[in-house]
Structure 1
């Protein structure tokens, strides 16, 4: 006989309650965990009684208990329905929206500096920031390397790997950054992380004395960096950014950590000038401070020779160089790294071990082989002209179609650029039209601790083709004209 429920009914042990009570409890549990879907009819009592070998009155009693408790809805002349418990739960305040004032919580987390961003319903081809194009990725090569790594893992992959990353990947990263960004390091200097965000979290734990350490952050700047240091108890010091990058001359003398995106400032897109790079290194040397260099998409350079990384210029072991593969490959890979100065390596590995004692082996092995065989370098070379074409289409459209309203901010790298609003009093109307016609573009106010003096829009071009960029900007212009 076919089962009447989408789960196995287990008869009660002798002496443990009545059959009706036990059937009621099993049905109730199935409704709560979704095995009996909301809105589905309960099987007829005669059918259940026959299938389970119990009296019909036993089933009727169990059903009546479900109805009395609100887990089932009776219908005259028809089968009872499973109640929709989700709609009942939605009438209660969402836990994520509750004020976090419970004294049992660590004070740093009663008002989180950064809450998870709500999912944004954007078209696949949009101006969203920070997403590379998957259509040109060498999926076949990645699948082949994944299969090889799985075969190797099945033979010798059941031991705990080191928390700082497998040696093969650390060696591959050291060679890659030396070739691509002239970063001088060995594999011993590299600590593998779960994306750049974990790198910031680990560095904050290691460098911050809660309530005392002052950390300079870019304003506007990347919110997760601020969140990591705020959660560690740092005193944040926002420092303005202009067309030369971080305004180094505004750094207070008592700052001990400076977080900066020198190759492609997030979100304005400007590069830190050589003059300010030199000044920043001198500031750190003379004040006993350290620098966190976030080089999140520096592989994609469209102008002349790229400026040397701060780590390349550093002669005093002041710089932690942070990289990620989210832009050069794909975000769900969740792989980043820190190139640490020698004095901090052991401490950073210890912090990583406390937070994440054993890294994954398979994905790291695939990435190591992908880099070692030259596929990463080839993929970056292949994508650079594709992104360059899109960048030119965006710049051309901003200048020719939207020049009356927007002024592009100089930028020669990365997967996004920004444009300032010429008339700040029109910002609200421009943002309204932007949401309608250039989905994914973001106000830099979303990256700011305080309302910016010069409002601006940031446009990503990682997942939108040049023709689509031109069409969207044309619609944007017509919306502004109207």
Structure 2
């Protein structure tokens, strides 16, 4: 070994003397040592070709066994940080393994240039104005869109996940069917046949990334820009965003206690190419579409060569009687595309839903979908298939119906106790929210917007009903979500809201 090599070895020992071993740590001493040496190499303190001190010398300096140092060196050699050289000590590799994976970080410019103009087109800019409001990480009263998560059987879910992915089958890893994982489609078909009265099989089902994703796919694949589409006049703003994104013309169709007024839709746009309806439970007003209206809608779709998207967003949560039959179960012409989601029944971040359509449409639809869309992920699909197929989903739904029924009853009782004469609220046989209306007595004291703002400052979210109308019409309605709130939180929130309403104003009057 040359004098330079001896000097380099001395330099490496000097650097390594700065290392320390924590004997109280659960991490093995050899792993601690190898990590610190690797850090010194990656940081440039130990350069390529530098000889390492012998295991005996380094063990003496660190007051540890030679076996500890040997194990650390062997790991570093295996990872490419060190190399063994004949008749020489171990030396630092010519190129540390980190440098193969991480690019050099450029020096930032002294002045940051002015950002370029927006990349959005005029259409993109209009779409971006429809950005949806996101729920907070913890549910606030009376926020919408938060199903209860504490009651979900995550232990069962994790066990199913482990059973599928500890040793996954090749068919799962390589699955590329644009319709989705076949066992999941079969499980969904069985569930719909049993629980929703919708006769179908796996070949009729396409797995999607949720309800809105399904709607977007239908608009993109079945409509031309400029086509008219019927929309219930009170609906989620996200629907209008999708209509805008796909260059379609929205036609607001009035609704009454029987649901969408089909005759008015025909009067306004007889040649519309699609209608979006929530027949089981209109969102957000809550009525159920009558049998007569359902038949009128199907007759129009057949005559106009149009499509009907049936959004069954919370049909599982009916608290009296059995779930209602679907609109698609009445369809004899293949005009209805049924859309369901697991966002309300499982949890929103699952991002999984499904469509059921006439078998003659599935192949064309899935072929077109395969060209533009390659999700949702396969990871959760076999887990969901087993969750449904082994009866866990049905058990969970029964449990959640009981939980939500009790929470709705608690909200009604608290509102009637503390806000009678101020906010009128009625029960609903389905769903995860209730409608309340400010009385003239309350409106004489405070406006709807002022009440919403005052409640928000106290951490209470009141969603105005007017937010669901495209024209933003005046309304005294408020939407109260209750699904994510424990019973005590519901009562506390109502009492807080009542205290806010009854608090004296600057003039001394409540």
TM-score under structure 2 normalisation? Answer: 0.72
Q: 1:439 aligns with which of 442, 460, 467?
A: 460
Deviations 1:283-335 (A, max 9, x none): 32333222101111110101334432111122221211000001111111111
| Structure 1 residue aligned with 2:478 | 457
Alignment match, 2:499: 478
- The alpha carbon displacement at 1:268 in A equals 2.3
The 1:289–1:67 alpha-carbon spacing in structure 2 relative to 1, beyond 3 Å, is: closer
Aligned to 2:184: 169
Count of matched residue pairs? 403
**2:461, 2:486 → 1: CA distance?**
14
RMSD of aligned alpha carbons: 3.0
Moved more, 197-206 or 158-167: 158-167
Cα distance in 2 for partners of 1:445, 1:161 equals 43
* CA 1:163–1:358: 2 relative to 1, 3 Å: farther
Deviation at 1:475, TM superposition (A): 1.6
Query: For the structure 1 residues 227 and 192, does the alpha-carbon distance in structure 2 shift closer, same or farther, using more than 3 Å as the test?
Result: same
Corresponding position: 1:245 with 2:259: yes
- In the other structure, the counterpart of 2:81 is none
Deviations 1:83-112 (A, max 9, x none): xxxxx99xx88x9xx8x5x6xx55431321
**Counterpart pick for 1:228 among 222, 234, 242:** 242
Aligned to 2:391: 374
Asked if residue 219 in structure 1 is aligned to residue 237 in structure 2, the reply is: no
Equivalent of 1:348 in 365, 374, 377: 365
Distance 1:227 1:412 in 2: 29
Pairing of 1:244-283 with structure 2 (within 5 A): 244-251=258-265, 252=268, 253-283=270-300
Task: Supply the distance in 1 between the matched residues of 2:455 and 2:289 (Cα, whole angstroms).
Answer: 28
* TM-superposed deviation, 1:347: 2.4
Give 3-state SS (helix, strand or coil) of 1:417's partner: strand
Q: Which residue does the alignment assign to 2:152?
A: 137
- The SS at the match of 2:127 is coil
The answer to whether the 8 A contact 2:130-2:241 is kept is no
* Residues 1:126 and 2:141 aligned together: yes
Following TM superposition, by how much is the alpha carbon of 1:358 offset from its aligned partner in structure 2, in angstroms?
6.0
In the aligned structure 2, how far is the partner of 1:297 from the partner of 1:67?
Answer: 51
How far is the alpha carbon of 1:275 from its aligned partner? 3.2
Segment of structure 1 superposing worse, 292-301 or 417-426: 417-426
**For residues 119 and 208 of structure 1, what CA distance do their matches in structure 2 show?**
29
1:109 to 118, 124, 127: 124
Moved more, 386-395 or 270-279: 270-279
Check conservation: 2:183, 2:385, Cα contact below 8 A: yes
1:201 to partner: Cα distance: 1.1
Q: Does 1:178 pair with 2:193? A: yes
In structure 2, do the counterparts of structure 1 residues 359 and 117 end up closer, same or farther at CA, with 3 Å as the change threshold?
Answer: closer
Match for 1:69 among 93, 110, 122? 110
Deviates more, 1:302-311 or 1:139-148: 302-311
Distance 1:463 1:392 in 2: 14
Rg comparison, structure with higher value? 2
**How big is the shift at 1:227?**
1.6
Change in 2 beyond 3 A, CA 1:375/1:400: same
- Shift in CA distance, 309/139, structure 1 to aligned 2, threshold 3 Å: same
Q: 213-222 vs 372-381, which deviates more?
A: 213-222
> Which whole-Å deviations, capped at 9, do the CAs of 1:28-54 have from their partners, x for residues lacking one?
xxxxxxxxxxxxxxxxxxxxxxxxxxx
Q: CA deviation at 1:397?
A: 2.7
Greater length-normalized contact order (CA 8 Å, ≥ 6 residues apart): 1
- Residues 480, 185 of structure 1: CA spacing in aligned structure 2 closer, same or farther, 3 A cutoff? same
Aligned with 2:281: secondary structure? coil
Which segments of 5 or more consecutive residues in structure 2 lack a partner in the other structure? 1-14, 19-35, 46-105, 504-510
**Structure 1 residue 9 displacement after superposition:** 4.7
1:147 Cα offset (Å) = 0.5
Q: For the residues of structure 1 that align with 2:402 and 2:203, how far apart are their CA atoms?
A: 34
Match of 1:149 in 2: 164
Q: Secondary structure at the match of 2:354?
A: strand
Q: Tell me the TM-score normalised to structure 1 length.
A: 0.76
Query: 1:110 is paired with a residue of what secondary structure?
Result: helix
SS in 2 for 1:116: coil
Secondary structure of 1:215's counterpart equals: strand
Give 1:458 shift.
Answer: 1.1
Of 314, 323, 334, the residue aligned with 2:340 is: 323
* Structure-2 residue corresponding to 1:24: none
Does the 8 A contact of 2:223 with 2:273 survive in 1?
Answer: no
Query: Is the contact between residue 210 and residue 234 of structure 1 (CA under 8 Å) also seen in structure 2?
Result: yes
Secondary structure at 2:216 match in 1: helix
Could you tell me how far 1:68 is from its partner in structure 2? Answer: 9.9
Distance 2:137 2:174 in 1: 42
Deviations 1:377-397 (A, max 9, x none): 000001111100001111223
Superposed, 1:51-62 pairs within 5 Å as none
CA distance in 2, matches of 1:121, 1:457: 19
CA 1:121–1:380 in structure 2 vs 1: closer, same or farther (change >3 Å)?
closer
